[in-house]
Structures are given as C-alpha cells and as structure tokens.
Structure 1
Amino acid sequence: MSLYQAAFFVLAVVLVLLVTARGRVLPLLALLVGAAGFGYAAGMSTSHFTKAFGLGFAQSVNGLGLTVLAAAFLAAIADAAGATAWLREKARGWRTRSAPLAALGLVSGVASTPAAAFAVLTPLTRAIGGGAPRAATTLGLSLSGAHGLLIPAPVMLASVTILAADWTLALAYGLPVAVLVTLIGLGYARATASGRPLDADASAAMDGDSLHAPRRAALALVLVSIGLIALLITQSLGDIASEPLGGGSNREFLLALGRPPVLLLAGVALMLLLSWHREEGALGERGWVGRGLASAAGLILLIGVAGGLAKMAQETGMAEMNAERLLGCRPAGALALLLPFAVAAAMKTLQGSSLVAAITAAGMMMELVAPLGLDDPAGRTLAALAIGAGAMTVSHLNDGLFWLVAQAGRLSPASAVARFSLGTAIQGGVALAALILLRLAAS
C-alpha cells in the first residue's frame, strides 16, 4: 500500500506542476486540490484528510507565517525609506551579486530553519539581487546545503546526537563539504537562473518626502537582517539539550529568541528606529503595514497549504514504510554511506520536513552502523553527515522553503522545481560523493 501511496503523491505533484506551468491556475488552488486528491487516493477518509490537513496548515502558518510577515514589513519600510533602491544602485557596480549571497547563505544555514532564515533575508536579497531568479536560487541553495551539513543546525544536531557521533569530527568534515556544496549551488544557479534585476521592483510608488536618508535606511536593513539571523542561530544553540547553553530555563530563553513573534516585533521596531523612517498613514491600509500585509498574505496561505500536504503525507506513514524498504540494502565499504543518505532523502522527499527526515533516518540507522562497518568515530560522523545531506534532498511542493524561493525569484512551480529542487538534488549527490571520498581517505 505504501508504494501506491507514494505513486499517488508523485502523481499529485506532477499534476500541480502541469496545471500551473503557464499561469492559468493559481498555485494555491492547484496545491489545495492536489492535496485533496492525494488524500482520497491514498485511502484517507474525509475526516482524517481534513483533520491532518488542518493541523499541518496551522503548524506551518504558526511556525513561519509571522516570520514571512516580518520580512514583508521590513521590505515595505526599506522601499519607502529608499533603502532598496540605494542598495540596488550600489550593487550594480559589484563584480558579482551571487557570491555575497552564497556566503551569506552558508553562514545563515546554521539557523533554526532554512525557511525562516530565507524569509528574514528576503528584503536584503531583493535589494542586492534586484529580484532576479538567480539571487533567490543562490541563497536558497546555499541555505539548504549548509543546513544539512553544519552544526548547530537542528538537522545535524539530531543526526549527530542520535548516532552518538563526534561533534568535532562533524565540524571538521562538514565545513569543507558545506563549502563545496555551496559552490556547486552557486554554479548551478548561475547556469540555470537569470541574473537580470527586475528594476521595476526598485521603485515603490512613494512620494518624494518619504525617501529620506536612504543610506541610513540601507544600513539599518543590513544590521536588522544580520540581527534576526543571529537570533535564529541562537535558537539553534537552544536545541542543544545540555548545559551551559541548552539546559533548563536557559534553553527556553534561547528558543524563544528565534520565535516568530520576537522576530516580527524586534525586527520591525529596530528597522523603524535605526532608519528613523516616518511616513504619513504608515499604520493604515496605504502605509507600509498595509503594503506588507498585501504582499505576504498569499505566500502565507500557500505555505500553510504546503504544510497541510506535508502533514497528510506524514499521517499516511508512506515515507517511513518506503524508507524501511531500503534497509535491506547493505552496501559495502565506503559505499555504506549510500544507505543513510537514501533513507533520509526518501523521507524528506515524501513528507517534506527535513528535521523529521533526519530524526527518523538516524533512528533507523542506530542499529545498522555496526553491520555497515561504520561503528568507528569517523564512520558514525560521516553517517550522520550523510543523513543531514539526504534530509535536504529534495525540496519541492511540500516544503515552505520551496515556495519562499519561488516567490522571491518570481518562478512558477515548474520553474522552481527545475532550478531549486533539482539544485538540491545535485547538491545532495555531490555531498554524498564527497563524504564517500572522505571515508576512503579515513580508512
């Protein structure tokens, strides 16, 4: 039954991509109908389907919705204060716009979630990259690659902790592989996505008096973006369930710092304070509040629907059952790393959550590291890294990060699959090959 459910899921994804390819059907509507069709085809009753979908929708909006709204408010303020246009003009003289974004994504990849990191960096990325598809794809791929390979990203924390791997080795092996994967993502984005800025986005319809001190506003946008990323990284440290950083009340405090309400309130307040932006009717429908709400509403709903589809897939159990089918394969030598990677990748692709994929795959591999010849410190660490790489492969319609990249890059779902989803698959393959080579060198 699990194979049929997986086939129905793939069919639903393909149909959504086909009907939205030419913009004739709104992705939100297509994804909603696709989720319902998958639910019924997979054997879910109406009550089960609606309950699972509603829970996934609520969890996704609760986890990411306010962060997306915070980013929309920051973008609206940056546009009104002239920061977006000022940064875009400065970026015209840069030799490359993609490399700084790739480096930013590599560092920000250790944030609590890559989707939240992408969201808070969207206003800055839009200013530097001009709204070009290449800028969004580059940032998304660098965030995805780094999150699966670097500590203290939760995906890596989970796999390293469950497999009792060596943290020092995880950093020593993971950092160069993450850099390699980021460079691969950068090259892939350059080869497949347009880098031409969408200059029409640079000039929001503001009156002349509102565009005061654009240089100061630009500096404020940079500082606030860095500050919010720092909060998300601090939240990742809170996921370390040990003293002195992660135990007791300290852990709860660190976790709270990166939660959406804090990002929204702190980010907007700091942006207004540092830019010293003043706009008549700012809190009304025509001010930055209204513009931010209008730009974020559709994306928030789309992320919620994607979360509903992901939760439905999780409820069927098809991801775990199909991943378990792979456990009978026992590659020998360094190729043993293929198994933890494949298990995590199957989990991620079918149910959407990288963290769930990492936790489940690591649990499945606990008793298999010894039979696979990976029971030494290096072997356990490389197995954990293989799980992390697999847990980021492949990001598609059931992942909020996919929709963030698609909207930021003005990409249709089919175009986003060709550029971002395929890019994550290539990054995963490169990471696996690098880890196998490291295993051969360590043997």
Structure 2
Amino acid sequence: MTTAFLQLLVSLAAGIGIIILLTAKYRIPAFFALFLACFLVGWGVQLPVPAIISAMKDGFGNILKSLGFIIVLGTLLGVILEYTGGTRVMAAFILRLAGEKNAALAMGITGFIVGLPIFCDSGYIVLSGLNKSVAARTRVAMVTMSVSLAAGLYAVHCLIPPHPGATAAAGMIRVSPGLLMLTGIAVAIPAAIAGCWWAAWAGKKLPDIPAVTTPEMETIPRIPVWLAFLPVAIPILLIGIGAFTGLEKQATPIARITGILGDPVIALSIGILLAAMQLPARTAAVISPLMQEAAEKAGGILVIIGAGGAFGAVLAATGMGRHLGTAFHLGQAGIFFPFLLAALLKTAQGSSTVAIITAAAIVEPLLPALGLNDPTGRLLCMLALGGGSMMISHANDAYFWVVAKFSGVEMKAMLKVYSVATLLMGLTTLAVVYILSLILR
C-alpha cells in the first residue's frame, strides 16, 4: 500500500469523521459540515486550494442544474396538499377502503402515498392527528399505528425523488430521476410492508398507549377523493409513460410529446396546477404565502444537495476511485458496498439525506471497480444506497423524535418497534435489490 493511498484513506476517513461529528454531536447544519469536509479531504491529499474551490463550484453547480427545479416544485406540491387537506382526504378514503380491522395497514398505505410528494417528517406531522383519531376509534395500539404510518412515509423518503437524498444521489450516480421514481416505488412497497408487519407484531407485546383525540382531529376537508389523489397520481403516470416511451430508439411525435410531459419538471408542474384547483381561493393572498413557504423549505434542501455535489467533485478530483479500485478487489462487493456504506453513515450520524449523499459521493468513482458502471448497475447502486440510508433510525435521527413526540410513544418502545422496523426495512430493500440484480444482469 503506497504512501499516497494511505494518505487518501486517512483524508477520506477524516472527511467522513468531520461530517458525522459536526452533524450528530454539535448539530451543525449539513451544508457547513460538507463544506468543511471538502477542504479537509482536499488538503489531506495536497490538492491546491484553487483546484479544491474549482471542483466544489463545478460539483455544486452541476447538481443544482439537474435537480434544483425538481426539489422546489416537489416541495411546493407538498405544501399545497398540506394546506388544502388533500392528504387527510386520501388518508380517510384509504381507511374506509381497508376497514377499521386493518387500520394499521391503512395508515401505512396512507403514509406511502402521501409520502410521495411530502417529506416524511412533514407528512407525519400533518397526519398525526388523524392517526391518533383512528387509533382511539379502533383501539389498535398507538405504537403500532404510529410506526406503520412512519414506515410508509420513510420507505419512499429514502428511495424516491423528489426527496432530497435520493434526488441528489441520483444526480451524482447519473440515474434518471423518472426511472428511479418508478423502480423506487416498486422496491419501497416491500420495505414498507416489512415495517408495518413488524409494527403489528411487536406492538402487541408492549403496553398500549391510549390515544387522545379531539373533534378537530376528525375534521376532513370536503374535497372529492378523485381530486385529492389527482395531483399525486398524474405526475407519476406521466413520468412512467415518459420513461417507457423514452426507451424507444425512434423519436416519433408521440414519443416526443410524452417525453416532454414525462419530464419530472413538467410532470410536477402539472401536479401543482391540479393541487391548486383544491385551494379555497386562488388569489395572491393565498398562493403567495404557500410559494414563499415552499421556497424557504426548498432553499435549505438545495444548499445541502449542492454541498453534497461539491464533496463528490472533490473526491473525484483526488482520484479515489482509481486508487481504491487498484488496491481492493471490489468486483465481488457489488451492491453490498454502497448499501453497507450508507447504513454505516446513517446509523452513525442520523440523517438519511446526509448518509445517502455522502455515500453516493464516495461510491460514484468506484462504480467501475464494483461492476456497476452501466445504466442498470447505476440504478441498482442507487436503490442499494436508499436501502442503506434507512437503517438504523434511532435517537440521533430527527424523524425518530418527530414520531415519538407526535405519537406520545416512549423511548424504549420506539427503540424496540420503530428502530427495529427501520433495520428490517433496510434489509428487505437489500434483498429485493439483490433479486433485481439477478434478474436484470
């Protein structure tokens, strides 16, 4: 092992260490942790400061160029659905369809669907009142209901654009966001089922926590069910059609039209227009604050994924992929390496977004050595990264505390039910991705 390679490994370890230390212990925003890690790694391998800055600017700009609009539009769609109450309408419909005997499964399905455009913590807060109401009415254990809802939201949050971690990593690994959305949904379903199953099984073995409900929690907006689902269903349908017609080699007029409509930017814009139809008044006084809220939420996300892109560019400039590929026989590791790396980072520092972005930055130059440097391999790598970023959610994860505080579930029960559920969800995702790798390759 050469001195240069040892120097690279030490610098990489220091960079990851500073990210974990600053975000997990000192609660420094991820942007600044990633920003400092860029310089730490660059200086560690003796890159000139101008080269570090140039790589950071290129990485930051390239990520925002490809993903900025998706993040902003996806955030605005979620904000409008929260405001109109469309999420509560969808939840109530799914509960009626599944029946009160399957209340926990209904909340898991609700979380899955609502989580497609809405971030998991926001989605849980929006649905927590309805969740308590259903738990009180059906007498299902509160921990079971809460973890089922949390699992549905969490599965799509870690795997599917426009959620920030998956979106940023897709840009680094160079995977189509539309294709990732479609395959991510298919992979997220068994992960969510695993989480809901464990919630139902483990919840029976713990003392029940009575749910307290108020009349306000029962309030469901008077929006037609089909209209509530439309802003979520239509973008997914358009992206799916666009992805499949895009595989055709001949650029027919229909393929060109579906390709335009299936672009995630256009599809999400159409979803926003459909969601805006549910607003009680489509005036500047109503719409402007919603846009402002979405812009503020998206701004924090954009700087994180931009910093992740900068970190990835600095790692690429160090020649890490060439060094690691020569030193280790990574071909046998395949999808397991990105999964384990993301899982280690997630468990250590708590944020799924930081874990998947950091892991993607490290893995991208290693794709040839891992045997994943083709379109299918890159897609499988992305799904493995998403699965790794699920496990293990515990006390250093902000979402862990959102679920605990809004459901009233104690720490011990959260660790026994929710944390174990995230472990099973991650392992289930890995198993599904491995099966896909056997089929597709």
TM-score normalised to the size of structure 2? 0.59
Matching residue's letter, 1:227 = I
Gapped runs of 5+ residues in structure 2?
132-145, 170-174, 204-208, 343-355, 404-413
User: For the residues of structure 2 that align with 1:65 and 1:72, how far apart are their CA atoms?
Assistant: 11
Which residue of structure 1 aligns with residue 352 of structure 2? none
Q: CA deviation at 1:261?
A: 3.8
User: For the residues of structure 1 that align with 2:438 and 2:284, how far apart are their CA atoms?
Assistant: 60
CA deviations over 1:362-402 (Å, ceiling 9, x no partner): 86789xxxxxxxxxxxxxxxxx9777544433359999xx9
Are 2:238 and 1:231 equivalent residues in the alignment? yes
Count matched residues: 357
Distance 1:63 1:437, change over 3 A: closer
Gapped runs of 5+ residues in structure 1?
106-116, 159-170, 204-210, 330-337, 367-383
Matching residue's letter, 1:265 = S
User: For the residues of structure 2 that align with 1:124 and 1:289, how far apart are their CA atoms?
Assistant: 18
Are 2:312 and 1:310 equivalent residues in the alignment? yes
Matching residue's letter, 1:18 = L
Are 2:388 and 1:393 equivalent residues in the alignment? no
Q: CA deviation at 1:300?
A: 1.8
User: For the residues of structure 1 that align with 2:63 and 2:421, how far apart are their CA atoms?
Assistant: 21
Distance 1:340 1:78, change over 3 A: closer
Which residue of structure 2 aligns with residue 110 of structure 1? none
Structure 2 counterparts to residues 40-439 of structure 1, below 5 A: 40-87=43-90, 94-97=103-106, 99-100=108-109, 118-119=116-117, 127=126, 133-141=150-158, 143=160, 183-184=193-194, 214-216=221-223, 219-237=226-244, 239-240=246-247, 242-243=249-250, 247=251, 253-259=257-263, 261-273=265-277, 277-279=281-283, 281-284=285-288, 287-327=289-329, 338-341=332-335, 352=360, 360=368, 389-395=380-386, 426-427=427-428, 429-431=430-432
Identity fraction in percent: 14
Which residue of structure 1 aligns with residue 349 of structure 2? none
Are 2:40 and 1:37 equivalent residues in the alignment? yes
User: For the residues of structure 1 that align with 2:58 and 2:361, how far apart are their CA atoms?
Assistant: 14
Distance 1:53 1:398, change over 3 A: farther
Distance 1:102 1:22, change over 3 A: same
SS at match of 1:392: helix
CA deviations over 1:31-72 (Å, ceiling 9, x no partner): 222232222223322222222212222222233222222233
1:21 maps to which of 4, 20, 24: 24
In 2, are the aligned partners of 1:68 and 1:119 still within 8 Å (CA)? no
Distance 1:279 1:27, change over 3 A: same
Q: CA deviation at 1:230?
A: 2.2
SS at match of 1:242: coil
Distance 1:182 1:30, change over 3 A: same
CA deviations over 1:322-372 (Å, ceiling 9, x no partner): 23544487xxxxxxxx44445776998876169957974686789xxxxxx
**Higher normalized helix content (fraction of residues):** 2
CA deviations over 1:307-334 (Å, ceiling 9, x no partner): 22122223333134423544487xxxxx
Q: CA deviation at 1:290?
A: 1.7
CA deviations over 1:183-207 (Å, ceiling 9, x no partner): 45666798999xx9xx99xx9xxxx
Distance 1:31 1:359, change over 3 A: closer
Is the deviation greater in 252-261 or in 356-365? 356-365
